[in-house]
Amino acid sequence: MEKPEGINVSNPRAGLLAHSMQLTAKHSELIESIYDAGLNPELWSDVVVMLNGFFGSRACGLISKDKVSKSGSTHYYCGVDPHFIQLYADEYAQHDPLARLPRYGEVRNIPDLVNFDEYRRGRFYQEWLRPQGCADVANAVLEQANSPCPMLMTVIPGKEMLNAKMRARMQLIVPHASRALMISRTIERKQQRSIALADIVDRLSAGVILLDAACNIVHSNPAADAILDADDVLRSVNGRLLARSPEANAALRIVFRDEAEVAAVAGAGRKIQLASRDGSHHIAHVIALPSLLREGSAGRAGGAIGALFVWKAKFDARSCAALIDRTFELTAAELRVLLSIVEIGGVPETADALGIADTTVKTHLHRVFAKTGTSRQADLVKLAAGFCNPLVH
């Protein structure tokens, strides 16, 4: 009978104890490395090599298998010639026994999935596995059944079939690899949302400035960079946001002293007025950040606790006409009346400007009131002003 490696034959009990302790230490190190890879996917390649050594297998890898097309992709592997990896992706993924996936979390080899004699006569064994000098493949699905293309841990034992020792070691690792993969997926989804959100912010016409509790600039979009470059209403001094107006400067320091204050100001809809040299004004709207953005800014200057949306104060209802039209489904005549009421004044002035009768203006105006949920001309002015706010866009 073959003795375990490292056993002292002169003292079998002590040797077995030492071997068991050595295995436990190796197992603990491997589990720790698996969870490290869950946090940093670049480490999976090294973990796969460690898994292969722990199992005592010929090859090991992480592959994804499409349930519909049966196509497969190998993400991390060791012990297989890259030529055969490419052959698997191009041709043999659809012929391997994984056309029938094992249940989540269970270690299964080829005889568990298909008739072994039929398998040995098939293309996968004859043309892909046998030329590598191997006889069997073991797999474990690492993701739940709702995944359309689940990740699997796959192991090629070598010339022999999967034995009980290798199966037990694989089964020991499966729950840890599954949880680590779930961590990787969660981090990946959050990063994708953060990237998508950052892209949206960068496309806004309003300036967006993320600030920490000391008013240090954590992030600014291109529109905000243009405002800062103008060095007028706002500027950056050593990375800290300063306002031209002492009053606005004081307001910024008060608002951004902590997250609670930012949330209170944002909830109340309060704005900070910013005066420029030429007498024009900008508006700074305080925004409380969702947790996703706060987490995304961690590691920089204390992390962002809130944001400023900054835009030049101006009223141009016609620039927002298309958005108003789409929102309330106004006719062309109704939209012309609404814009004229907002820009010119009352019914007589609108009738003169448009060259129509007062009664016609009133008819269109009543329809506009009904569609927009307003009842006074002053309400229409406020409504149009709201659509000129870049936050509405």
**What's residue 267's pLDDT?**
85
User: What is the set of domains in the chain, with CATH numbers?
Assistant: 47-176 (3.30.450.40), 205-312 (3.30.450), 317-387 (1.10.10.10)
3-class secondary structure, 38:
helix
**What's residue 164's pLDDT?**
93
Query: Hey, how many other C-beta atoms are within 10 angstroms of the C-beta on 391?
Result: 12
Instruction: Kindly give the pairing relationship between strand 306-312 and strand 240-243.
Output: unpaired
Beta-carbon contacts of 182 under 8 Å, excluding residues fewer than 6 positions away, are 38, 143
Residues of the chain with pLDDT under 50: 1-9, 14-16, 19-20, 292, 294, 296-302, 392-393
**What's residue 24's pLDDT?**
67
Closest CA to 317 of 350, 284, 344, 343: 343
**What's residue 297's pLDDT?**
46
**What's residue 3's pLDDT?**
43
Closest CA to 104 of 34, 172, 174: 174
**What's residue 140's pLDDT?**
92
Angle between helix 246-255 and helix 259-268 axes, rounded to 10 deg: 110
3-class secondary structure, 275:
strand
- Tokens 């002492």 locate to 246
Distance in angstroms (rounded) separating the CA atoms of residues 248 and 225: 19
Closest CA to 383 of 368, 364, 363, 361: 368
User: Do residues 63 and 73 lie in contact, with contact meaning Cβ atoms separated by under 8 Å?
Assistant: yes
